[in-house]
């Protein structure tokens, strides 16, 4: 159940100019850049140039390292490194960065970047990379094209305009470059700041408030609440008094030893000696609906055979259960492959905007519509017995499975709910966010708690939506109206409810009990299977289940798979 990013809800400490991801590296949201500055030509209405721009090749010596320490409330919270690698064969200039954010109780969040500028200091290309995700960018004419390997975005960029600047998240070297590459003067400055970590550009203003030593030492105040001190054109320190944040240049810089390999590359291949074949399918829809692509796993032997429709969690997965960034193998292909091996024809498909499916409106109701398309497609396949069709839903996919079974009782003959929420989603979301808060340092927990409550209250009441959640706002508001226990009570088919005891997304008790009570009251034939040592993905977990653990290469528990297959055989055999 990889849901939309909930970082604003689980403890991000917002500070002007930087966004310190106290909730974890997987939730880092790109910040606005530390500002650049400009001034009109000398002689304009009293404007005066205080420091002239430096040629890109002369800012640093080749191999020179810059190091900046990040401190908040007197505690070290991270380090930002940068170095000039030197010119390349094309006459461009290459710079590298490394970032380490230190979070109490967690492993350091680390990232690496590369920035390539041409001889005039204009953006050419580069990347930002962690072990969770990678974003590559490249200037093409008057746009910067950014891709994470799945999505492609274009941001307007006019390379010859001096009032356009750029910076990656926490890459202080980038900010230093931006100051060095432009004239700094007495005229108030206005900039359009492009984030090289993704996100929309922002407008920034600043002004020099103090100048000494003939312009070799400048102090700037910005619209983001920062006070920046430059010595000989380099950042000496940056202070955000309102947040007790300071960034200070190290007197003895040293390049860090860690390297970033980048995210995993997830692929699916047909298992060796597989007793099923794969046929590509397109799910027919209305003209205004996005194209949906999927595949039918067809077992060997005579048909027709029972059919299975698999519905993924939040709709951010491809047909194999690959999600991200960060790349996560949710493992659903292991279950669907096993069902095909056991003689079921299985339909699995790419959600909107994933794999080969076209993007479309992101909403729970739209996803229910997609599930209807998938069910209709499965029912008419020649290999499938339309009187023996199961719908299996993981996470929120279980809610969609119950909607289908309640409205299409003649077409759905059994439902499997795998770690499906049993409480209204608002309660689930608040519980998840509260649990993540407990992992934060005590000195920021209360502030984050207040932020979290305000954002959730606004979402539930339909008020303002933070920019980070805008793409998922409709999905959240629609799913808030769903009552899982009421859905279950409407079913008149066999239901399997499987739940892992190590699940941190769906509570093994608080979400299971309402469904059990509803089934008992409505006399729904419900079978409950609990797996104490398994997480939300039904993978073995010996310790604490966390989002970071999802990124590790682990397999779905074979006992769980065997149980689901056995249940599917039993309920379909009863309909012969």
Which sequence spans correspond to the domains of the chain?
1-8+425-481, 31-249, 294-423+483-573
* Residue 45 or residue 119, greater confidence: 119
Nearest to 219 by CA among 243, 195, 197, 238: 238
The model's pLDDT over 238-273, given as tens digits with 9 standing for 90+, comes to: 999 988 999 999 999 999 999 998 888 899 999 999
Least confident of 33-47, 62-76, 112-126, 132-146: 33-47
Confidence (pLDDT) at 15: 24
Confidence (pLDDT) at 11: 26
Confidence (pLDDT) at 26: 30
The model's pLDDT over 143-173, given as tens digits with 9 standing for 90+, comes to: 999 998 777 899 999 888 778 889 998 999 9
Cβ(378)–Cβ(307) under 8 Å? yes
Distance CA 426, CA 432 (A): 10
* Residue 16 or residue 225, greater confidence: 225
Distance CA 60, CA 562 (A): 61
Cβ(355)–Cβ(323) under 8 Å? no
- Residue 51 Ramachandran class (φ > 0 left, ψ -120 to 50 alpha, else beta): beta
Confidence (pLDDT) at 576: 66
Pick the CATH number of 294-423+483-573 from 2.160.10.10, 3.20.20.10, 1.10.238.10, 3.40.50.1820: 3.40.50.1820
The model's pLDDT over 39-56, given as tens digits with 9 standing for 90+, comes to: 344 444 567 889 999 999
460: its two tokens: 């539930």
Confidence (pLDDT) at 551: 86
Has residue 12 got a pLDDT over 70? no
Q: If 0-12 CB within 10 Å is exposed, 13-18 middle and 19+ buried, where does residue 160 land?
A: exposed
Has residue 118 got a pLDDT over 90? yes
The residue with tokens 């005590």 is: 442
The residue with tokens 């947040």 is: 243
The residue with tokens 């984050």 is: 448
* Residue 415 or residue 24, greater confidence: 415
Does residue 427 sit in helix, strand or coil?
A: helix
3-state secondary structure 28-79: CCCCCCCCCCCCCCCCCCCCCEEECCCCHHHCCCCCCEEEEEEEECCEEEEE
Q: What is the mean pLDDT of residues 52-64?
A: 95
Peptide bond connecting 25 to the previous residue in cis, omega within 30 degrees of 0? no
What is the Cα gyration radius of the chain?
27
Mean pLDDT of the chain: 87
Has residue 36 got a pLDDT over 80? no
Confidence (pLDDT) at 46: 62
Cβ(371)–Cβ(311) under 8 Å? yes
Which residues share a beta bridge with 328? 323
Least confident of 133-147, 443-457, 533-547: 443-457
Has residue 4 got a pLDDT over 60? no
Spatial neighbors of 476 by CB under 8 A, at least 6 apart, are 4, 425, 429, 459, 469
The model's pLDDT over 471-514, given as tens digits with 9 standing for 90+, comes to: 788 898 899 999 999 999 999 999 999 999 999 999 999 999 99
The model's pLDDT over 347-394, given as tens digits with 9 standing for 90+, comes to: 999 999 899 999 998 899 999 999 999 999 999 999 999 999 999 999
**CA distances, 86 to each of 97, 156, 172, 293 (Å):** 13, 27, 18, 46
**CA distances, 6 to each of 328, 414, 435, 465 (Å):** 17, 33, 13, 12
The residue with tokens 């408030």 is: 209
In which band, very low, low, confident or very high, does the pLDDT at 38 lie, cut at 50, 70 and 90?
A: very low
Q: What is the mean pLDDT of residues 176-184?
A: 91
Confidence (pLDDT) at 415: 98
Q: What is the mean pLDDT of residues 219-245?
A: 93
- Residue 444 Ramachandran class (φ > 0 left, ψ -120 to 50 alpha, else beta): alpha
| Cβ neighbours, 10 Å, residue 71 | 14
Nearest to 169 by CA among 21, 295, 58: 21
223: its two tokens: 């619209």
Confidence (pLDDT) at 1: 37
Half-sphere exposure for 48 (CA within 13 Å, toward CB): 7
Confidence (pLDDT) at 148: 85
Does residue 219 sit in helix, strand or coil?
A: strand
189-195 and 164-167 beta bridge pairing? parallel
Distance CA 365, CA 404 (A): 12
Alpha helices in 243-380 (DSSP H): 332-341, 364-379
In which band, very low, low, confident or very high, does the pLDDT at 286 lie, cut at 50, 70 and 90?
A: very high
Does residue 353 sit in helix, strand or coil?
A: coil
This prediction has a pTM of 0.74
Has residue 23 got a pLDDT over 80? no
Distance CA 219, CA 210 (A): 5
């Amino acid at each position: 159940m990889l849901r939309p990013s909930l970082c604003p809800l689980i403890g991000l400490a917002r500070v002007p100019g930087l966004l310190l991801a106290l909730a974890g590296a997987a939730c880092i949201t790109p910040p606005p850049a530390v500002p650049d500055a400009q001034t009109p030509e000398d002689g304009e209405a009293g404007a005066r140039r205080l420091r002239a721009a430096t040629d890109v090749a002369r800012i640093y010596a080749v191999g020179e390292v810059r190091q900046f320490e990040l401190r908040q409330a007197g505690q070290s919270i991270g380090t930002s490194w940068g170095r000039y690698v030197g010119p390349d064969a094309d006459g461009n200039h290459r710079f590298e960065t490394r970032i380490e954010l230190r979070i109490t109780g967690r492993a350091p969040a680390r990232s690496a970047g590369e920035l390539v500028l041409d001889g005039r200091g204009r953006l050419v290309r580069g990347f930002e990379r962690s072990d969770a995700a990678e974003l590559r960018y490249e200037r093409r004419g008057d746009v910067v094209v950014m891709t994470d390997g799945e999505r492609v975005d274009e941001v307007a960029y006019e390379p010859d305009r001096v009032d356009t600047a750029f910076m990656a998240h926490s890459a202080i070297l980038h900010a230093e470059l931006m100051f060095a590459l432009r004239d700094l003067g007495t005229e108030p400055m206005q900039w359009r700041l492009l984030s090289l970590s993704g996100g929309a550009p922002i407008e920034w203003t600043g002004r020099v408030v103090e100048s000494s030593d003939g312009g070799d030492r400048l102090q700037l105040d910005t619209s983001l609440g920062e006070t920046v001190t430059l010595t000989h054109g380099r950042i000496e320190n940056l202070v955000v008094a309102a947040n007790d944040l300071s960034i200070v240049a190290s007197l003895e810089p040293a390049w860090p030893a860690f390297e970033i390999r980048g995210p995993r590359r997830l692929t699916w291949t047909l298992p060796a000696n597989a007793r099923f074949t794969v046929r590509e399918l397109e799910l027919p829809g209305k003209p205004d609906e996005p194209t949906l692509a999927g595949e039918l796993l067809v077992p060997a032997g005579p048909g027709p055979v029972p059919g299975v429709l698999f519905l993924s969690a939040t709709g951010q997965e491809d047909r194999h259960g690959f999600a991200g960034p960060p790349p996560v193998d949710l493992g659903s292909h292991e279950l669907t492959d096993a069902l095909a091996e056991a003689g079921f024809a299985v339909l699995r498909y790419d959600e909107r905007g994933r794999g080969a499916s076209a993007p479309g409106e992101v909403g729970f109701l739209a996803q229910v519509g997609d599930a209807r398309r998938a069910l209709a497609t499965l029912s008419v396949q020649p290999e499938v017995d339309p009187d023996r069709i199961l719908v299996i839903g993981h996470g929120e996919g279980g809610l969609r499975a119950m909607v289908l079974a309640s409205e299409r009782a003649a077409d759905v003959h059994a439902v499997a709910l795998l770690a499906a929420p049993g409480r209204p989603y608002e309660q689930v979301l608040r519980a998840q966010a509260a649990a993540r808060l407990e992992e934060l340092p005590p000195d920021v927990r209360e502030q984050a708690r207040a932020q979290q409550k305000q954002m959730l209250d606004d979402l539930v009441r339909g008020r303002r939506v933070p920019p980070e959640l805008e793409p998922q706002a409709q999905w959240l508001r629609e799913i808030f109206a769903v009552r899982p226990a009421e859905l279950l009570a409407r079913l008149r088919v066999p239901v399997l409810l499987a739940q892992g005891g190590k699940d941190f997304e769906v509570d093994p008790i608080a979400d299971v009990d309402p469904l059990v009570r509803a089934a008992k009251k409505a006399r729904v034939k419900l079978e409950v299977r609990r797996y104490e040592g398994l997480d939300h993905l039904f993978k073995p977990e010996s310790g604490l289940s966390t989002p970071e653990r999802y990124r590790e290469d682990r397999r779905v528990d074979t006992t769980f798979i065997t149980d689901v297959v056995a249940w599917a055989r039993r309920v379909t055999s009863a309909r012969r």
